[in-house]
A and B are shown apart, each in its own frame.
Chain A
Amino acid sequence: MAEMWINMGPQHPMTHGLWNLRVKVDGETIVDAQPEVGYLHRGIEKLCEGKTYPQIIPLADRLCYGSSLTWSHLYCMAVEDLMNVEVPERAEYIRVLTIEMQRIVSHLMWLAAYAGDLGLGVGFVYTMREREVFLDLFQALTGARITYNFPRIGGVAHDLPPNFERDTLRAISYFEGRLKEYEDLFEGSKIFMMRNVGVGILKKEDAINMGVTGPTLRASGVSYDLRKDRPYSVYEEMNFNVVTHKDCDCYARYRVRMDEMWESCQIMKQALKKMPKGKVRIVSPRNAPVGTGLARVEDPRGEGMMYIVGDGTDKPYRVKIRSPIFVTVSAAPKILIGYKVADVVAIMGGLDMCIGETDR
């Protein structure tokens, strides 16, 4: 069969979101690939310039539907850096607790989508069911299920609701049991292993050269996690491991995310245990000084960064967002070439695409 280009997207079940992957196939083998992003560009960076600092928090939530809280937290951290605001310690602990919960929710959504991509029907439904447990906790905490609008400049919106600690511990113990079940469901399936082991190899050097971050980088054997390497919030007081895997393939990416969910549970437990009493929010100034603010966090998908320039008014002069997936997707051709069409879903699913933050 002659070589031909296939458009996988913008409307295709493989694309979680609105983007296009053009692959050139020779029969079933991929010989070339071109990712095209930009279908979901909403101009968020520009929109931010017309809004006051607190008004941007819900907008930052909309950056990623999978892990919205990480992005509003990142924005708040950047503004706090700009305004030199000290956050109360209890607020920092609540932030860490919610971010780790968000990481679990995000990874579970990834796992569900991944199972759906590989055709594993029950995997999709069961992981979504467990995600619901944490979404209910978020609902109790913030009143919303996807976009929470919870962090504030100088703290969080409000304190934990009654019994939140007890419910969270219950959810964690329930989820830790379920995590073992998933390992049986996924890794106990021979076909799942056939589809994952040795597929989509991204070598360590390539991953570093292309600026890939997050679980994809850690699955290539690089121990790089901002929570450990450049601790923000109160992460230096938490005891957890940076999960890495040396296999560099889709299975390694799956394994890293599964172990990260486990580590997130441990961090949540520690955060609940060490949480001090006190205020959760201080009143932040309305106008930012002339200067710049920078924050970097470990998003569930990689390293997120925000850079804010203040000009003395109550609106930012410029906001720059560094998206982890925008960088990761540029590495996709390198991973894809040489594999089969059917591996596209496994490989691109394993990268955990989120187009909201990629196109911004």
Chain B
Amino acid sequence: MNLFEFCYGIIHWLVDLINHLWYWLGDVLPWWFGDFFDAVGNFAASQGHMAVMTIFLEVVIVVVIALINVLNFIWIFRKFMGRMFDFYGPYYVGYRIGGWLQNLADGIKLFVKEIIVPAKADKMGYLLAPIIYIGSSILILATIPFSENFGVATNESGSYVPAGALFALAAFAIAPFSILLAGWASNNKYTLIGGMRSAAQMMSYEIPLLMTVASVFLLAGSYGFVDIVDAQHDIWFAFPLFIGFLIFLVCLAAEVEIIPFDLPEAEAELVEGWTTEYGGMRFGLFYFTTTIRSYAGGALATALFLGGWHGPALIPDEIWFLIKAYIVYTIFQWMTWSLPRVRVDQMLGIGWKRLLPLAVINLMIAVALKSMGWF
């Protein structure tokens, strides 16, 4: 049974239940009510409506599970940073589960803070930017399946979001727009420079990123996550496309703005970069969303290069997928705390002079492998 069938079952049962009540209500009311009630009930029981509701339910389930994992990620981030820095990390809030509840406590604290909009800010842009940033980032989560049977499918046969990987990358690329908007609308010089840097960075690292992903699409012959992961049944793409995998990780680090490339929010130079003027839960959501993007990055790396949910059958597929995503994230954190930050011109130099030619070479390798018929 896949997630679609499960959700379809729930929706079917719910619609049946409500329609019983509904038709009964239509029966006891005068006849002209009855017709109207019949029409609404028939619409609710129709195939199209049920499918749409099923997909809604699926999206909710997948996104909520992903968000809970993101909470885990923040916990890992704090705990791992603590261990690297010779302290324990979160400890007291949720003592028995290793301080896991600290995230929730911080969230509550941020929720009750006053929301301040700077007097000279462009109100519209200032309020719109977090919505775009957070919305586009959560959109990524809906497309990533945890396993063959656990993801957002569009019909019973389990055919997944068509071109899901492409869609995820497209959603990934919306963020620079909102960052630029946030930087501009905050009306602050630090945020402005941070927003400009972010736009430059994401633009220059998007190209090698997409070129490496193109090589994966080429080998798999599909844009969908399930087909890409199935193509890695024998060998993970990280091995034949080793250069591509490294480029992908570096570009991902730049896309999710972690330390060697966290120039847009370089706290030593630009205070907090483009989030300087945001406070309270808006800042909290930015912070949370950055982790969402890290999670999405880890999941993308897992699905595209590390064999997705394939692994010894001892552990369920979904757990394999998450384990791999967690490992990628932990490596990111390791990199974050043991490397200094590059300068903006050096960052652009790395992107255009090193990664782009390497990405082209990687694409050529993929073409060669494909044309020799090995994939």
**Which residues of chain A in 103-150 are interfacial with respect to chain B, using CB atoms and an 8 Å cutoff?**
115-123, 125-126, 129
- B residues sitting closer than 8 Å to A (CB atoms) are 81, 84-86, 189-190, 193, 196-197, 259-260, 262-263, 266-271, 336-346
In the complex, which residues of chain A have a beta carbon less than 8 angstroms from the beta carbon of B267? 13, 119
The contact of A189 among B197, B340, B343, B346, by CB within 8 Å, is B340
The contact of B340 among A14, A118, A341, by CB within 8 Å, is A118
**Pairs A-B, 7 closest by C-beta atoms:** A119-B341, A118-B340, A121-B337, A125-B85, A120-B340, A342-B343, A345-B268
A343–B85 contact, CB under 8 A? no
In the complex, which residues of chain B have a beta carbon less than 8 angstroms from the beta carbon of A123? 340
A25 to B, closest residue via Cβ: B193
B338 to A, closest residue via Cβ: A122
- A residues sitting closer than 8 Å to B (CB atoms) are 1, 4, 6, 12-14, 25, 28, 115-123, 125-126, 129, 185, 189, 191-192, 194-195, 340-345
A343 to B, closest residue via Cβ: B343
Please judge, given known A-B contacts A13-B268, A342-B266, whether A189 and B339 are in contact too, CB under 8 Å.
Answer: yes
A119 to B, closest residue via Cβ: B341
Whole-angstrom distance between the Cβ of B260 and the nearest chain A Cβ: 6
Whole-angstrom distance between the Cβ of B122 and the nearest chain A Cβ: 18
In the complex, which residues of chain A have a beta carbon less than 8 angstroms from the beta carbon of B271? 12-13
B349 to A, closest residue via Cβ: A194
> Which secondary structure dominates where chain A touches chain B?
helix
The contact of A122 among B84, B189, B193, B270, by CB within 8 Å, is B84
A191–B269 contact, CB under 8 A? no
B334 to A, closest residue via Cβ: A122
The contact of A191 among B189, B260, B263, B344, by CB within 8 Å, is B260
A28 to B270: give the CA distance in the assembly, Å.
12
A191 to B86: give the CA distance in the assembly, Å.
23
B344–A342 contact, CB under 8 A? yes
Whole-angstrom distance between the Cβ of A49 and the nearest chain B Cβ: 39
In the complex, which residues of chain B have a beta carbon less than 8 angstroms from the beta carbon of A116? 268
B272 to A, closest residue via Cβ: A13
B268–A340 contact, CB under 8 A? no
The contact of B269 among A4, A126, A344, by CB within 8 Å, is A344
The contact of A119 among B81, B189, B262, B345, by CB within 8 Å, is B262
In the complex, which residues of chain B have a beta carbon less than 8 angstroms from the beta carbon of A14? 268-269
B336–A121 contact, CB under 8 A? yes
Whole-angstrom distance between the Cβ of B220 and the nearest chain A Cβ: 34
A122–B269 contact, CB under 8 A? no
In the complex, which residues of chain A have a beta carbon less than 8 angstroms from the beta carbon of B337? 121-122
In the complex, which residues of chain A have a beta carbon less than 8 angstroms from the beta carbon of B260? 191
B268–A121 contact, CB under 8 A? no
A12 to B, closest residue via Cβ: B271
B339–A120 contact, CB under 8 A? yes
In the complex, which residues of chain A have a beta carbon less than 8 angstroms from the beta carbon of B262? 119
A129–B343 contact, CB under 8 A? no
A182 to B341: give the CA distance in the assembly, Å.
17
B340–A340 contact, CB under 8 A? no
A185 to B62: give the CA distance in the assembly, Å.
41
In the complex, which residues of chain A have a beta carbon less than 8 angstroms from the beta carbon of B344? 28, 340-342
A14 to B267: give the CA distance in the assembly, Å.
8
Please judge, given known A-B contacts A121-B85, A122-B85, A195-B342, whether A341 and B193 are in contact too, CB under 8 Å.
Answer: yes
In the complex, which residues of chain A have a beta carbon less than 8 angstroms from the beta carbon of B266? 119, 342
A191 to B, closest residue via Cβ: B340
In the complex, which residues of chain B have a beta carbon less than 8 angstroms from the beta carbon of A195? 340-343, 346
B81–A121 contact, CB under 8 A? yes
B197 to A, closest residue via Cβ: A28
13 interchain pairs, CB-CB under 8 A: A1-B196, A6-B189, A6-B190, A12-B271, A14-B268, A14-B269, A119-B339, A120-B339, A189-B340, A195-B340, A195-B346, A340-B345, A342-B263
In the complex, which residues of chain A have a beta carbon less than 8 angstroms from the beta carbon of B341? 118-119, 191, 195, 342
Whole-angstrom distance between the Cβ of B354 and the nearest chain A Cβ: 12
Given contacts A118-B268, A189-B338, A343-B343, 7 further A-B contacts (CB under 8 A): A14-B268, A120-B340, A129-B86, A192-B340, A195-B340, A342-B344, A345-B268
